[in-house]
Chain A
Amino acid sequence: MAVTKKTNKQLVLDGLLSENPIFRLALSMCPAVGISSSVMNGILLGIAVLFVQVFSSCTISLLKDYIHPRIRIPTYTLVIATWVTVIDLVLAAYVPVAYKAMGIFVKLIVAFAIITMRLEVFACKNPVVPSFWDGVGMGTGFMFGMVTLGTVREFLGTGGLLGHDLIGTRPLLFFILPLAGFFCVGFIMAIFNYVEIVYKRMKRKRSIAQ
């Protein structure tokens, strides 16, 4: 049981950048490839994942001492499914406007690898507060990744952002297709890796200079 020593701020930042679920951990690639065809989709799915991740992380971290280690994965799935259903029903009943936009995204989430993985790696070993912040970091990191992908793909594919036409033509329709999702994820992943290499090199130089 390795309890984390990171501060809450660090946890959130890690989720956003150095442990970004899509570009660094390469988790939940199906939605990243399939659904990131527009910025709005990215934002909506990001919000849905953020909520489910935070709620599930907190629940598992509260219940971690009572879960038999042999059945932890089924329990995670149950917890996620419960939260997805609860959010779905509550939205449908009390916020019909939000439900109209988010309904299909919420229902997709049950099988997302990122949530199960964070429960397994983090929430089941840590107290509630760090788990909460880890959930927030991972959720926003996922949203950030989806929005980045959505921006690239929507702009190149339709020549607009958020449904507004910006340049009047559709430069490369190819980017809207699911296939282009792979290319975009790959390229952005490469950029992330390159930044990491440069950053480490700078750090090493600085430590040598000192």
Chain B
Amino acid sequence: MKQIIRITVGLVISCLVAGAVMGGVFTVTDKAKKRNEHLAVQETMLGLLGYKDAKQVPADLKLYSIYRYIITDGSGSQYLGYLVPVAEGNETGYMLLKLDLQGKFISKKNIDISPEKAREAPERESALKAVLKPPISFRYADEAIVATLGKKRLAYLLPGEFLGFKTTIKAMLALDPSFGIVGLDILEHEEDPGLGGEIEQEYFKNQFKDKSYDRITKLKVIKEPLPDEYKKYLEKSKWQKGAFSKEQIATIRKKYQDKDIYAITGATISSKAVTDGVKGMVRKFAYRMGKLEAVIVNEKIPAVFL
């Protein structure tokens, strides 16, 4: 009996100490970690739009976030709530558009929050709580970013996550205004290094580039060896000067544009997971954006990205 008590107490104490150490380190590092993650996401977004460093970014490139919430009212029926950035004079404000699940417009409300504050989830929540009073409840669903260059809509940036082989994979997709893929980047994953971990390599993720919306909806994974010229073409950061002439790039691009995704050797499941994940993200986003766009036009919402 004495033994049992000593063992129990010993284990409890070791767990508590370990927990305290981990918790302590977490509180100390959390802020810096979050900042790094934010910077990494920013860098990824600009990279996907084709700007390799901050100097190249033109001054009139603007990134506007649209946040999607699921709203449940007192009777239990669900609605979609889009937080859309709108022009308020010279400032940018936010408006909450309430849509039913079929995408029909229900109501609109101004939300008192600045774009800088809207980036923080707790700030958004408290601003929304001022408008959506109980028994109405809401929860965050996802974010989409609209990139505009001057008056022109440049691209959509979609952060998203889907299930990989081991845990969830966090990725960032860049789509052109007609929902074709401009680029894909893997932000975070825990696939096995050397196998599924290869999804973050250029020769895999760049295969998604230049696929049109129609092609993406039918995208498959094929178990064929990646052709050498295509691999060289995909590994853009390894290009030496003059490795490809403009004509060569155009022909290779055209040749492989409509191909399916070549699976990674030894990691078919991860390849499939990413392909299906991307497919799902693009399809859902195209559908939702279509509905939202229609509402914005019909209701004459002064959205900043129009």
On chain A, the residues within 8 Å of B194 by CB distance are 34-38, 41
Place the interface of chain B in its size category. 20 to 34
A110 contacts the other chain (CB 8 A) = no
In the complex, how many angstroms separate the beta carbon of B53 from the nearest chain A beta carbon? 15
In the complex, how many angstroms separate the beta carbon of B127 from the nearest chain A beta carbon? 29
Known A67-B10, A173-B265; contact A86-B193, beta-carbon cutoff 8 A: no
On chain A, the residues within 8 Å of B21 by CB distance are 82, 86
On chain B, the residues within 8 Å of A90 by CB distance are 25, 29
Q: Tell me whether B18 and A78 are in contact (CB under 8 A).
A: yes
A85 contacts the other chain (CB 8 A) = yes
Contact digits for B6-49, partner A, Cβ 8 Å, 1 yes 0 no: 11001100110010011001101111110011011000000000
User: Once the chains are docked, how many angstroms separate the CA of A39 from the CA of B197?
Assistant: 15
User: Once the chains are docked, how many angstroms separate the CA of A112 from the CA of B190?
Assistant: 16
On chain B, the residues within 8 Å of A44 by CB distance are 193
On chain A, the residues within 8 Å of B18 by CB distance are 78-79, 81-82
B191 contacts the other chain (CB 8 A) = yes
Closest residue on chain B to residue A38 by CB atoms: B194
User: Once the chains are docked, how many angstroms separate the CA of A36 from the CA of B7?
Assistant: 40
User: Once the chains are docked, how many angstroms separate the CA of A89 from the CA of B30?
Assistant: 8
User: Once the chains are docked, how many angstroms separate the CA of A108 from the CA of B30?
Assistant: 21
B294 contacts the other chain (CB 8 A) = no
User: Once the chains are docked, how many angstroms separate the CA of A173 from the CA of B39?
Assistant: 38
In the complex, how many angstroms separate the beta carbon of B40 from the nearest chain A beta carbon? 7
In the complex, how many angstroms separate the beta carbon of A82 from the nearest chain B beta carbon? 5
Q: Which residue of A71, A74, A93, A105 is within 8 Å of B32 (Cβ)?
A: A93
On chain A, the residues within 8 Å of B193 by CB distance are 35, 41, 44-45, 104-105, 108
Q: Tell me whether A178 and B40 are in contact (CB under 8 A).
A: no
Give chain B's interface secondary structure class. helix
User: Once the chains are docked, how many angstroms separate the CA of A90 from the CA of B10?
Assistant: 28
In the complex, how many angstroms separate the beta carbon of B285 from the nearest chain A beta carbon? 27
On chain B, the residues within 8 Å of A71 by CB distance are 7, 10-11, 14
User: Once the chains are docked, how many angstroms separate the CA of A178 from the CA of B265?
Assistant: 10
Known A67-B10, A104-B191, A176-B265; contact A96-B22, beta-carbon cutoff 8 A: no
On chain B, the residues within 8 Å of A37 by CB distance are 194-195, 266
User: Once the chains are docked, how many angstroms separate the CA of A89 from the CA of B29?
Assistant: 7
On chain A, the residues within 8 Å of B190 by CB distance are 104, 107
A205 contacts the other chain (CB 8 A) = no
In the complex, how many angstroms separate the beta carbon of B97 from the nearest chain A beta carbon? 36
Contact digits for B253-275, partner A, Cβ 8 Å, 1 yes 0 no: 00000000000011000000000
In the complex, how many angstroms separate the beta carbon of B254 from the nearest chain A beta carbon? 26
Q: Which residue of A38, A92, A177 is within 8 Å of B266 (Cβ)?
A: A177
A75 contacts the other chain (CB 8 A) = yes
B225 contacts the other chain (CB 8 A) = yes
On chain B, the residues within 8 Å of A100 by CB distance are 40
On chain A, the residues within 8 Å of B3 by CB distance are 70
Q: Tell me whether A176 and B14 are in contact (CB under 8 A).
A: no
Q: Tell me whether B14 and A85 are in contact (CB under 8 A).
A: no
B142 contacts the other chain (CB 8 A) = no
B189 contacts the other chain (CB 8 A) = yes
8 sample A-B contacts, Cβ–Cβ < 8 Å, listed by A number: A35-B193, A35-B194, A74-B14, A82-B22, A93-B29, A104-B193, A108-B193, A178-B195
